[in-house]
Amino acid sequence: MTSTFWFTPVFILIWSTGFIIARYGMPYSEPMTFLAIRFGAVVLCMAPIVLWLKAPWPRGRQIWHIAVAGALFQFGYLGGVWAAVKLGMPAGLAALIIGLQPIVTGLLASFVSERVSPRQWLGLALGLTGVALVLFTNIRLEGLSFTSTLLAFGGMFAITAGTLYQKRYCPSFDLRTGSVIQFSISTLLCVIMMLSFETMEIQWTPQMIGAMLWGVLAISIGAMSLWFILLRRGDATKVSSMMYLVPPTTAVMAWILFDEPMTPTVLVGIFITMLGVLIINQAAWPRWLKRRA
């Protein structure tokens, strides 16, 4: 069985907590201020490790390719989504818009010389249907604006573009030095936006500190490293389809942590989403699962 099969559930579990820490941290900081500190902290954590271990640095254009992919992944995706929610977009609707990412990735798969089979398109459709059912009760239009909608779609296209760009131009690089490059450029962009549009006020409550530490260590360093490994070893469409599992996982976490309702519609949505992702990634199943499929 492939090691990436076991990387995937760990990535999904950690990545899904991003919506949870947003709930804990959002009341105490503006989005670009939070992300600037978070990304900067990642650089401060990784830079000494890179220097101590003398990790290899990329050369020439590879540095710029890694920087562009990082700016799209971190600043473009997270900045867009967090800013949209802060401006009033309901989190459920933002998550559904981000849920379009696997579909858009499939449509643009030819950019990285990949072909999406009819079976995979069926899986992509099922996955999006399942995500919509999971988020159905939380989708509202109150507080929706043109700006927040533009930011949410911008975040979705940013992570799609970042996935395809990295897959094509810089699929393999040292994760340690690559993280320093990607989070440095993202920190700079967030600082520019923070100085231009935000008050930079932040309340260091226990919830805020916990959200920041988890965002730095578990998500930005841990989950992003797993994402890069998965993207390096798998097709962009297959890897992106894993994002379908984030809203169902987050729904289960919210049920446990915040006592949010776990309705029959949510349960059906979770089942359909998992079925869709399994159909897309059938070739990556371990042998003991393939024999039963």
Structure confidence by residue, pLDDT tens digits, 2-53: 455 577 788 888 888 887 787 788 889 999 999 999 999 999 999 999 999 8
pTM over 0.85, yes/no = no
Q: Per the structure block, which two tokens stand in for 77? A: 């995706």
Distance of CA 70 to the CA centre of its chain: 12
DSSP-derived secondary structure letter, 186: H
Measured distance CA(264)–CA(134) in Å, rounded: 10
pLDDT tens for 103-128 read 777 777 666 566 767 777 787 787 77
Nearest in space to 6 (alpha carbons), one of 231, 235, 285, 247? 285
CA dist list (Å): 188 to 32, 48, 141: 11, 19, 33
Condensed to tens digits (0 to 9), the pLDDT of residues 144-187 reads: 678 888 998 899 899 889 988 988 888 788 889 999 999 999 99
Identify which of 230, 182, 188, 231 has the alpha carbon closest to the alpha carbon of residue 66.
182
User: How confident is the model at residue 35, as a pLDDT?
Assistant: 95
**25-64 as b/e, with b when 16 or more CB fall inside 10 Å?**
bbebbbbbbbbbbbbbbbbebbbeebeeeebeebeeebbe
Can you give the pLDDT at residue 2? 47
Backbone angles phi, psi at 29, to 5 degrees: -160, 150
Residue 284 predicted with pLDDT over 50: no
Q: Kindly state the tokens that stand for 115.
A: 């072909």
pLDDT digits (tens, 9 = 90+) for 190-234: 999 999 999 999 999 999 999 999 999 999 898 888 888 877 776
Which sign, positive or negative, has the C-alpha torsion 48, 52, 53, 55? positive
Nearest to 219 by CA among 23, 36, 39: 39
